[in-house]
Amino acid sequence: MKQFSFSIKTFGCQMNERDSEIMAQLLAEKGYVESMELEDADVVILNTCSIRAKAEQKAMSLLGVLRKVKKRRPGMKICVAGCVAQQEGEELCERMPHVDLVIGTQNIYELADLLEATRGASKVAIGMSDAYEIPAFIPTLPKLISHGELQSPFPARPFRKFLTIMQGCNNYCTYCVVPYTRGREISRKFKDIIEEAHVLVDAGVREITLLGQNVNSYGRTNPVTTDGSGYSFSQLLREVAAIQGLKRLRFTTSNPKDLSLELMRCFNEIEILCPQFHLPVQSGSNAVLSKMNRKYTRELYLQRVAELRSFRPDIALSTDVIVGFPGETDADFEETMELLEHVRFHSSFSFKYSDRPGTRSADFDDKVDEQVKSERLSRFQKRQDEICLEQNSLYVGKCLPVMIEKVTQDNMVGRTETNHIVHIEEKIECFPGDIVNVTIYHAGQHSLNGRIDFTSTTGLSS
């Protein structure tokens, strides 16, 4: 019997990356094998993102390429998943008749059955319900031994994994499609998360990143325990952190308005919680924040930053910024620049505002000129790059625990607790996921360089 192959191309965020892993596992369980080349696969899945225009354009242009491939290989099935699929549904099939399946963000667990059902005619499954429950999904991973040979033929050692704890969002920022494409905020059952975390750690995973659109509000909108008792995100963090063998814990993303003192305290009290926090500010101007419907002020944001740093002075902060939001004046933009000077983020993701279909801000009529947006963006990014370098230079001379990600013939690459990439121009006997003590001797804008610290005997730390 022919064994079918599949290939998944992921666009956008970490939520999509995790969803792609889930879809890959579902297909593998049905006997599909992963193809190295997209164009050779029997089933191609594009897991799309519509948060930014660029990611959507890339997915659409790949769909154009696949139209030609399908002419050569008519048996190929093309599936579109993710936010673009959710938004466009039937219309996507009408515009792109070579697409066999359009699958919504709450339907990915039905993928294998839906593919079976696509015989000759395209199918659309984009059901969305406020009563949706994130299934109890257990990942299958190759079993690992901490310092030895792999117990499985899988070449890659999955030492780091994402774990979804929530889906959707209730915040309705005026520029954002997420509440429409991923639905209302739904927290995953507490016991399912803990069970999945145990499976990951038992398989050798050393670092887990908990994922949700707004993790701070975990457990607030639906019961996460069978007896209906509430559980906060901080309690969840403490339970996951207590799993023996887990070395690092991270999470993303947070809305500043929901950041609690209880959560900030965790940075001081949970040893394996990495001192790194992504706290999207979007703008430094109260007028713009209000138009964005962010529900916090510049003052509240700065207060949260000061509180976070009082609990964990070495915390590395990163953020998201949108420049040229409709109505943003020169004075508003200057406030964003001032906020950058004040907070001195370790890194940031900054973008020019662009209309996204279906959002409220797409209908705002006071759009900022493209040229002005470009100038503001380049000014912001130039200053952020300088600050990155200044902040990174503070690590020079320090000895930091670095989790190894890649070991090559003669060097290694790893990451600090603060999520900085470190290039190490030497190597020792170790594996991805091991933690090595490294003394930093050079800082660049986007990474650090270091040497193994042999004063801590082997360089390996526990």
Residue 172 or 454: the one with the smaller Cβ distance to ligand SF4 is 172
Residue 158: partners with Cβ closer than 8 Å, 6 or more residues away: 141, 142, 144, 203, 204, 205
Strands 460-461, 435-443: pairing kind: antiparallel
> Which residues have CB under 8 Å from 240's CB, separation 6+?
193, 194, 197, 208, 210, 246, 249
Q: How far is the CB of 346 from ligand SF4 (least distance, A)?
A: 21
State which residue, 221 or 393, has the beta carbon closest to ligand SF4.
221
The dihedrals phi and psi of 412, each to the nearest 5 degrees, come to -140, 155
In the complex with ligand SF4, the residue whose CB is nearer, 215 or 315, is 215
Residues contributing to the site for ligand SF4 (CB under 6 A): 169, 171-173, 176, 178-179, 213-214, 255
For residue 462, with 0-12 CB atoms within 10 Å meaning exposed, 13-18 middle and 19 or more buried, which class applies? Answer: exposed
Instruction: Output the smallest distance, CB 213 to ligand SF4, in A.
Output: 4
Q: Nearest distance from residue 177's CB to ligand SF4, in Å? A: 8
Burial class (CB in 10 A: 0-12, 13-18, 19+), 44: buried
Minimum CB–partner distance for residue 411 and ligand SF4 (Å): 38
For residues 87 and 104, give the distance between their C-alpha atoms in angstroms, rounded to a whole number.
8
Distance CA(100)–CA(79), nearest Å, equals 6
Cβ at position 282, least distance to ligand SF4 in Å: 8
Nearer to ligand SF4, 59 or 178 (CB): 178
- Cβ 178 to ligand SF4 shortest distance, Å: 4
Q: How many residues make up the chain in this entry?
A: 462
Those residues whose C-beta lies under 8 Å from the C-beta of residue 337, and which sit 6 or more positions away, are 284, 379, 380, 383
Cβ nearer to ligand SF4, comparing 183 with 401? 183
295/309 with CB nearer ligand SF4: 295
